[in-house]
Structures are given as structure tokens and as C-alpha cells.
Amino acid sequence: MIRPRPILAALGLTCLAACNSAGPQTPDLPPLDVTQSRQEARQLFGAEQVGSPGTPTAYGSYSRGCAAGAVQLPETGPSWQAMRLSRNRNWALPITVDYVQDISREVARTTSWNGLYVGDMSQPRGGPMLTGHRSHQSGLDADIWMLPATDLTLSRQQRETLSSISMRRASGAYVNNAWTEDHWRVLRAAASDPRVARIFVFLGAKVWMCDRETGDRSYLRNIRPWWGHHYHFHVRLSCPAGMSECENQAPPPPGDGCDEAREWVQNILNPPPPDPDAPAPAPRRELTLGDLPRQCAAILSP
């Protein structure tokens, strides 16, 4: 198990339905006027280029929140490289940056990988993104590529064009031939850290680990199958202690989740017939500034 180091600076999905509430409200903040509240939040937060000053704090939830005092993961370190730098999404709370560095060192020490390729974390002030994720809003999420990080001298241009690799076959029911035991070791190290709330990965990887783990299985509870996570896995950290404005997702159900994952495999391989009476899914509207905790307006640039 990796031991968390002291947090730097002032501190030292795809989200599920359980993280969709707007977060605590602070009564001494001025109310938003109607025009402000209707502004599309992704445009406002997507325009921010640097983090806000002040104590690092997550406001609201992973899919409806923001982050004050975020810091940047350095573009390159001894055991990691941040990818897709043009997106400016290598920002997060210090605890998340610290976690990524810790895990990358453990991976470099215990596997054939030289470290990690790190995908999207958060925007400089968190909040909804212009494209892609519905979560990654509170500075506590990070995507780790499935592509083994063998070359840590990639140029900025190479980091824009290099692609990760898919690990799935049979629509995600199984792993493919690119999957290795080192992928298992990476995920096990990532999920065993006490700062972790969940790790989202495609179903076949979860079942592969369930079928082969003969030692401590406790980390498997943190590994949750979710659609789309076969080029990368998604780490979600718990709210740091004392950060009262941050909303945790409900904890995973008791147990290792392996029986439920195996049932899901059968539904992929033998899908039930569609329900003709099922209503069409309603389109999701974009979040407005008024949908976020009121503190989020206060951390935007004036």
C-alpha cells in the first residue's frame, strides 16, 4: 500500500447519479442575479487559464462543483508525463497531484512501466468542461492511460498525437491481448491507496482481477466497472478531511463487487431484449452557473 505523503502547499465517472447534488450553500455570499445564474458554466470555467488564489478547497460534487486553489501537475516528472497539454487539464487539488506522483513512483518501482501517462485531471478552477467529461469538476479526479509509459521524454507535439490503447474485447466483457499482469499491478496499487474513493474501469478488467486475486481482495471494492474506461482508468479521491464544502459520492456497496460484475458480463454477452415501452432518454442540458454551489461564482476571474 502506498503511504500518502504530506500534502503540498496550504494542505501540506462519467459521474454516477449519486454525485449530482449542488453542494452546500454559504449564506454570506451575495446572491447571483438572474443573468449570472443563467450563464453556461462550461464556458466560464473553460476560459480560466490559471488556478484561483486561496486555500485549496473542493466545492460541491464531482459532477456539479468547482475547485479553489488548484495547482498544476508538472508536465513531466521522473515517473510521469501529463498528456494532451493543449487542453490545460493537468490541474487539481494538491492532494490529487500528490496522489498521482506517489502512484507513478510505485508503478515505476514495481512494474515494467517507467511510470504513468496522465490524462485529464481538472481545469484550473474545476467546474464543467467545454468537452468530454461530466465529472472532473472538483479537483479530485484523474485519468490514467492504459498505455504503458515506457518513454518519459515525449515532446509536447508527441503528447498531442500519441494515443492510448484499448484493453477490451467483446464490448468490454473481457480483456484483450494487450492486457498484462502489469495493468493489474497498476490498478491494484492505485485502488489500494487510502485516499481513493473509486476507480472506474471497463467491466472485463474488473472480472479478470476478481478471478485471479488470491491475496488481499479489499482493494477490489474500490474498482467499479463503468462504460468507456478501456483506454484509461479514472481515479476518484474522497473529499479530504475537514473540507466541509466538498460532497463525497456514496461509498461503494459492501463486498468486492465481483458477483455483480460477473452478472453484468452475462448481460453484455446475452443482452435482454429492448423494452418497447421504455421512454427515450431526455437530453441533458448544460449546467449553468446557478446550478453550481454559490462559491463557484466567487472563484471565477473578475
What's the full length of the chain, in residues?
302
Region 40-56: mean pLDDT is 95
pLDDT of 252: 93
Domain membership of residue 152 as a residue range: 9-268
**What CATH code is carried by the domain that includes residue 212?**
3.30.1380.10
d(CA 27, CA 127): 21
More confident residue, 286 or 81: 81
d(CA 297, CA 289): 7
Give me the phi and psi of 23, to 5 degrees please.
95, 165
Is the residue at 302 inside a domain?
Answer: no
- CA angle (179 as vertex; 177, 182 as ends), nearest 5: 140
Checking DSSP bridges between strand 80-82 and strand 116-118, what pairing results, if any? Answer: parallel
pLDDT of 25: 39
Is the model's pLDDT at 238 over the cut of 70? yes
* Reduced DSSP (H G I as helix, E B as strand, rest coil) percent helix, strand, coil of the chain, to 5: 30, 15, 55
Residue indicated by cell numbers 481538472? 122
Is the residue at 215 inside a domain?
Answer: yes
**What's the pLDDT tens digit per position in 115-156?**
999 999 999 999 999 988 889 999 999 999 999 999 999 999
How many independent structural domains does the chain possess? Answer: 1
Half-sphere exposure of 177 (CA within 13 A, CB side): 0
Is the model's pLDDT at 186 over the cut of 50? yes
Q: Is 210 strand, coil or helix?
A: helix
Is the residue at 157 inside a domain?
Answer: yes
197: confidence class by pLDDT, cuts 50, 70, 90: very high
Is the residue at 293 inside a domain?
Answer: no
- Hey, how many other C-beta atoms are within 10 angstroms of the C-beta on 192? 17
Region 76-86: mean pLDDT is 98
- Specify the range with the lowest mean pLDDT, choosing from 34-43, 46-55, 254-263, 284-293: 34-43
> Could you give the angle at which helices 94-110 and 181-192 cross, rounded to 10 degrees?
140
d(CA 264, CA 202): 11
How distant, in Å, are the alpha carbons of 21, 175, 208 from that of 181? 38, 11, 10
Is the residue at 285 inside a domain?
Answer: no
CA nearest 125: which of 83, 75, 81, 65?
65
pLDDT of 284: 84
Is the residue at 255 inside a domain?
Answer: yes
Name the grid cell of 256.
468486492
d(CA 182, CA 54): 39
More confident residue, 2 or 109: 109
Kindly report the average pLDDT of the chain as a whole number.
Answer: 89
More confident residue, 2 or 157: 157
d(CA 92, CA 58): 10
3-state secondary structure 70-139: CEECCCEECCEEECCHHHCCCEECHHHHHHHHHHHHHHHHHCCCCCEEECCCECCCCCCCCCCCCCCCCC
pLDDT of 229: 95
Is the residue at 142 inside a domain?
Answer: yes
Residues 6+ apart with CB under 8 A from 20: 61, 63, 64
**What's the pLDDT tens digit per position in 289-301?**
999 999 999 999 9
**What's the pLDDT tens digit per position in 207-231?**
999 999 999 999 999 999 998 999 9
Is the residue at 277 inside a domain?
Answer: no
- Specify the range with the lowest mean pLDDT, choosing from 11-20, 61-70, 231-240, 278-287: 11-20
